[in-house]
Amino acid sequence: MVEDTRSSGQQPQALEPVEQEEVPFKDETIVAVRLSDGRICVVLRWVCETLRLDPQGQVQRIQRTSATAKELVRVRVQTKGGRQTMPAVTLRGFSPWVLGINPSEVKADNPTEEERIRALVIAYQEEAKDVLYEHFVRRRPALPAPGAAVVPAEPAQPQEPVAEATDAEKAAYYENLAVWALWKASQHAQLWREEIEEWRGEIESRLEGQEAMSGLLPEILERLGPEKLTPGHQQLVQYYVGKLHEATGKHQATIHAELKTAFKVPRYQEILEDDWPQVENWFRVQIERAKAKPRR
């Protein structure tokens, strides 16, 4: 059993947790506590035992690192032998500490156990902080700070005292009014959070729908093939055919046939939209040739 070393006048005062939990993690248990100021701390003793590390050596390593030294605390922990003072590290210091453990340097009695411990070190580095945060913060309501007023779930709005009310009655009215106002504010905040969550859900649903449609677009475009002449350009083709008919005297069906031959399509409507500049140029050249050539 390892406790934090004590030197008179040098060790900080041991802190009394408001909550102590054994958090399941990868078939092991992480003993963690929450302090009155809301900080979550991991008790080092059992983590070190699980990872086959020397607790005192890890405490010294934490103290030597500026990023973790100020996150090292002493807490009163309930054990089978009673309450004991032990070193712990806050969640803020937990990550840099555990990330500094090299899995390849872990030693165990046999290769199988060694491999298991190394995998466990990596799991601690990647997942443990989130598991602890989820356990303490998201699944459990926050405990009020010592001395904080507990707001009733649904307080009644206080009635304003009459003019002849005593000072004590007036003081009680303002105290109850403050409690009621806090409750109203908390209700507005809750409604606001719910609206934000609903809005976020709608946005996520829309984005998912857009992502699904974006994934289908290439397939849709591939099936549709290249874009053909737009209705507006098809009307212009008819206009140019009429102009070329006037200039050459050719039958319009003949002009259509020559246009299809020039662009190698079964129908002029199948001409690609990207080829529209060439279509206009084809008509311009045909009309200019007809104008330059004297008609018989």
Domain layout of the chain by residue ranges: 19-138, 231-292
pTM: 0.45
Token readout for 274 is 């990207």
Look at residue 248 in the predicted model and tell me its pLDDT.
86
Sign of the alpha-carbon dihedral angle for 37, 39, 44, 46: positive
Q: Are 247 and 290 in contact (CB under 8 A)?
A: yes
Q: Which ranges of the chain would DSSP assign to H, the alpha helix?
A: 44-50, 55-64, 66-69, 91-99, 111-123, 129-133, 167-224, 231-248, 252-263, 276-292
Q: What is the mean pLDDT of residues 52-76?
A: 90
**Taking 50 as the threshold, does the pLDDT of residue 172 lie above it?**
yes
pLDDT in tens, 8-32: 445 668 899 998 999 999 889 999 9
174 confidence band (pLDDT: 50, 70, 90): confident
Element (H, E) at 82: strand 82-90
Token readout for 242 is 């009429």
Helix axes 276-292, 252-263, angle to 10 degrees: 130
Angle at the Cα of 269 (from 283 to 274), degrees rounded to 5?
70
pLDDT in tens, 246-285: 888 888 889 888 999 999 999 989 899 899 999 999 999 9
Question: In whole angstroms, what is the distance from residue 58 CA to residue 121 CA?
Answer: 14
Q: Are 69 and 37 in contact (CB under 8 A)?
A: no
Question: In whole angstroms, what is the distance from residue 20 CA to residue 22 CA?
Answer: 7
Q: Are 136 and 32 in contact (CB under 8 A)?
A: yes
Residue 224 or 5, more confident: 224
**Taking 90 as the threshold, does the pLDDT of residue 138 lie above it?**
no
Residue 34 CB neighbour total at 10 angstroms: 21
Which residues are CB-contacts of 18 (< 8 A; sequence separation ≥ 6)?
A: 34, 35, 36, 143
Distance from the first to the final alpha carbon of the chain: 118
Which residues are CB-contacts of 142 (< 8 A; sequence separation ≥ 6)?
A: 38
Look at residue 45 in the predicted model and tell me its pLDDT.
92
Question: In whole angstroms, what is the distance from residue 53 CA to residue 41 CA?
Answer: 18
Angle at the Cα of 117 (from 112 to 123), degrees rounded to 5?
130
Q: What is the DSSP string of 215-245?
A: HHHHHHHHHH-S-B--HHHHHHHHHHHHHHH
pLDDT in tens, 86-97: 999 998 889 889
Look at residue 36 in the predicted model and tell me its pLDDT.
85
